């Protein structure tokens, strides 16, 4: 798999790796692992919503209210089904 980074991104990754005494590959692996762990924690920490709560939230969305960061409409609908 090829990953295309801007020169600025490459420089930032190289600087972070050097400052932590790691290779860029190790740094990227650790970053991905941390991201996956954080994502898993967010999914577990979310409270279950009732169908009525989900419907209310969808009505808010139709008014132009935005979802919190990281929440998709599909996830919101699935919470209502749980």
Per-residue pLDDT of the chain (82 residues; tens, 9 = 90+): 788 889 999 999 899 889 988 898 898 899 899 999 888 877 776 677 888 988 888 888 788 767 777 788 888 888 877 6
pLDDT the model gives residue 45: 67
pLDDT the model gives residue 7: 92
d(CA 12, CA 7): 9
pLDDT the model gives residue 65: 63
Cα dist. 14→31, 34, 35, 42, 75 in Å?
A: 13, 18, 19, 29, 36
d(CA 79, CA 72): 11
């Amino acid at each position: 798999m090829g990953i295309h980074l801007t020169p600025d991104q490459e420089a930032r990754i190289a600087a972070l790796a050097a400052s932590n005494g790691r290779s860029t590959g190790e740094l990227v692996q650790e970053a991905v692992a941390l991201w996956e762990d954080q994502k898993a924690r967010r999914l577990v920490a979310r409270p279950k919503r009732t169908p009525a709560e989900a419907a209310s939230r969808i009505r808010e969305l139709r008014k132009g209210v935005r979802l919190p960061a990281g929440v998709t409409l599909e996830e919101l609908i699935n919470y209502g089904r749980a």
